[in-house]
Structure 1
Amino acid sequence: MEEQTIRVQRSETKKEKPQSDQLIFGRSFTDHMFVMDYSDPLGWHNASIVPYQPLSIDPSSMIFHYGQSVFEGLKAFRTESGDIQLFRAEKNLERLNRSNDRLCIPQIDEEFTLKAIKQLISIEKDWVPSAEGTSLYIRPFIISTEAYIGVAPSMNYKLIVILSPVGAYYKEGINPVKIAVEDHYVRTVKGGTGEAKTGGNYASSLKAQEIVAKQGFAQVLWLDGVEKKYIEEVGSMNVFFKINGEVVTPQLNGSILSGVTRSSVIELLKHWGVPVSEKRISIQDLYQAYLDGELEEAFGSGTAAVISPIGQLTWEGKDMIVNNGETGELSKRIYDTITGIQYGHLDDPFQWIQGIEAKSPVKH
């Protein structure tokens, strides 16, 4: 089948770009977006780059009533030489298709979608900030658009990609956070949608987060939804623990999202010869490791922060202070290495980077 072309409609007006020191995550968006439609029997068609604009869809569109949607999050980085590069973008699109499968959404052509994202970023290259720690956040998402109130997979969809320049996640250095272990609410269960990146997972997490925020915690540590015994994720991130020299992370079990940063951390640790394993970890065993003086480091991993060190875990009124509440040596090394590869400061022995084009950095 011949690959479809991408129609480009340039915006006649340009937005004012925010200064790099005033970037707020997810608040500013570029001049253009990518849109593609799906219908039966045409399949995915009408691939277009158009001016960023509101969507006009029917009030009875199934997305509003049954939540059939998926999304991804990845970044483009500008190097010191002015190059723009992506970090493991193909892995995000592979995961998008796994989410599509779980939500009964038609598969996308990953290679074509990556080509479209690269073309969109090329058009918006002046939006890729150059200040240290900044990047261009990329949000592909798919929504069901069939005008029908009935519980069934939609016959129509839109794939949209929007871009947002974002500031440095850690403006004043990495600061470990306080986490509350959640033993009442659950994020998802095995057999549910936890392994897919769909909006409902995040909506269901808000109540617990709201409660612990009032108690001074940054986020919650999720336990499994059946026994409420085994550790799964921290906030919207995967979680790692360094216990007696070994790094452990919960094994993927059908309710845990397979993070791209998670897999990168595991590959990096294996490359360094650091013992790392994926296995079930109970909160009781973690607490015992803490009492035995063996819980050395803890951190979350994800696209936004890369690494988020955990300085304190509170479970059933008991505080576990990790590494004296300070960022661990290994956590910092992982963060420095992954970000170093992302920004081109370090060599990339894993072939994680894909270039877009070399242009002089734009100051804004």
Structure 2
Amino acid sequence: MERLQGKPFPAGYNPEVEHVAFTREPLYFAHRLLIFYVVVKCAQLMGHGFLLLAGHRRYVTPTHNLTYWHRPCQQEEGSIKQPPLLFFHGISPGIWFYIPFLTRLGRGREIILLEVPHIVTQLSFEAPDRIETVQSLAEIFALHSISKCAVAGHSFGSIIAGWAATAFPQHVKQLVLIDPVCLLLCLPDVAVNFLYRSPPTNLFHRTLKDFIDPSSEITVSHALRRHFWWYQNICWLQDVSCPLVVALSSEDDIVPSTAIHYYVQRHYRMQEAVKHEKEDDAGEMTDQSNASGSGRLIYWRGIGHGQMLVSLKAQDRLIAAICKQAVESGLATRAEDIKNSGQKNLRRSRVTAA
């Protein structure tokens, strides 16, 4: 390196600089009281009961025993006809934590909710890798005869959503990444912000942080410090061929939202340039260039990581963007479009009969 630079590097050593090697360091966690896990389990059971009452059915994939919930299409009259939605949750007490948001997001459409056990505070240490997860998704697609779908992931769930989009481009026709940790994982921000944030100096606040902060819970800590490889989990946007929606929070303390905002905008501009090039050269656009040019970027101002789950205004903006993109890309159909199409087919059949 010194020969390439043409000069020697100055000698020196900064003891304050440490290598971020969380997979090699001792497993850090803070003890929880038994009542903590009892309360979480009770909340999970209540959430499961709500899902059953809402028409969901619990399944387990045959090969790797991944649990998921499936609800058939419940389209309301006059609503937009949309393809099935496959959703992956983030680090949380469980899928029940997302039920209010998913009730709005999945209204009127078939929905599949995959439970990711090793990022839920439930003392489950089995962490399925990318290959096992992709195999389980293939089984889900086959069992429910899903030919095309929309995939959405929040926070850690965006990693699995990225796996699905790149492994099944023939099935995944829309990708929604919310507070995505899968983008720009080559930067240190996510690991440092989630695992290495300085603890509060106040004893009470530090104790409260250890009890509430998910990064110090033993299940989550084991998943991240022993089963997290950034080069396997990162999602490169150039590998995504379907329409894309990216939603960022301006006050996100985990995801580098400013850098990702620039990265996504740059990707969209490059895709538009490619689209225009193909239009000029061939006189028409291919399906891939048309899909890639229909990206959406949402930037919520004034909220932090995961706070969109309690902000109806932020949810409305996201759901509207998802529906609009689905209609514009031909993935979803408005009720009036279906009605007009049916009337045209009826007139055509009358003419043929005459």
State the TM-score bracket (shorter-chain normalisation).
Answer: under 0.3
Specify which structure has the bigger relative contact order, considering alpha-carbon pairs within 8 angstroms and separated by 6 or more residues. 1
Q: Over alpha carbons, which structure has the higher Rg?
A: 2
Judging by fraction of residues, say which structure has more helix. Answer: 2
TM-score between both structures, scaled by the size of structure 1: 0.24
Q: Indicate the structure with greater strand content.
A: 1
